[in-house]
Amino acid sequence: MKGIIYRSASSLAHDTGPHPESAQRIVAIEAELERLDWCGYERCDSPAAGEQMLLRAHPLSYVDAVRAACARSAPLDADTIVVPASLDAALHAAGGAASLAEALCDRTADVGASLHRPPGHHAEADRAMGFCLFNNVAIAALHSIEHCGLERVLILDWDVHHGNGTEAIFAADPRVCFVSLHEYPCYPGTGPASEQGVGDGLGYTVNCPLPGGSGDGAFVGLVEQLVVPLIEAFSPQLILISAGFDAHRDDPLASCVVSDGGFAEMARAVHRAAIAVDVPIGLVLEGGYDVDALARSLAIVLSELIGESTNLGADERDAPQVAAIAAAVLERPVFRAGA
């Protein structure tokens, strides 16, 4: 199995100062991966996204607004700080995610990761928020569909914060099944189970809101009992993981308590399901703000996705809500009938 990682030094130049989403996140990740010989993945420098890539997910007026804000070092919202170098970092983050999708689509690699900042899943088509400028995972999914010719992509977002931007971009699009496991209520306040998509996309948005304090039982249970059957029912040609690590028990920005072993078992379950149906997997970095937990958990996940088990197990599981959530989703007509 071949793995590939896209990265860019531009991620370090996106200077947010004393902010949770800082360059130290990438420094810690790369130090840990270097220690582990990059978990056997080939490294590639990411190209900057061209305008056509961005316009698949964002209108030109928004792209121009981001360019102007970066040039002026004008924050895009109270949480989303930019400097002139932020534009280059955001373009490489989007370009790296799209390049990853393309490498997976043409089977240059079986598994891979786009490891950049700023993250992207809160960015809506015409609005930056939550540290995010361009929606990297959405750009990757749309590139795989519109450039590479795929018909079905599944996005699993296990960041502790709901991926509101990704949901909004694909709410009416049946080509993308969007599954979000997130703490609720929590920033950005979106993602109730009742939001299931609209129009032709009705049913393909799968929100799994979890109470604060949820840990391995809920997160691993939902991957095993919901995401794995969805992979079979939806039959995606590509799986993208919007991978935040802020559900970790050590993270300061939320209150979920997933362990290192919990992340290992989530990745292990997705890997096994993907192998069974011969579907490549791409990881796009989102949040994670305790840098040690972030770097360690990401390395564990990358090892599991490439088929090198870490032998870490999840904590004892007790999450009775999981079966009910999974059953309700899997009974939707779009999944009962097949995609």
Catalytic residues: 122
CB 183 within 8 A of CB 254: yes
> Which uninterrupted H or E stretch holds 274?
helix 260-277
Contact 128, 292 (CB under 8 A): no
Burial of 122 (0-12, 13-18, 19+ CB in 10 A): buried
Q: Contact 207/253 with Cβ under 8 angstroms?
A: no
Q: Name the strands in the sheet holding 176-183, side by side, starting at the edge strand that comes first in the sequence.
A: 42-45, 3-7, 111-114, 281-285, 238-243, 153-157, 176-183, 205-210
> 325 by DSSP, 3-state: which?
helix
Reduced to 3 states (helix: H, G, I; strand: E, B; else coil), residue 78 is coil
The Cα 299–Cα 18 span in angstroms is 25
- Asked whether the beta carbons of 314 and 265 are under 8 A apart, the reply is yes
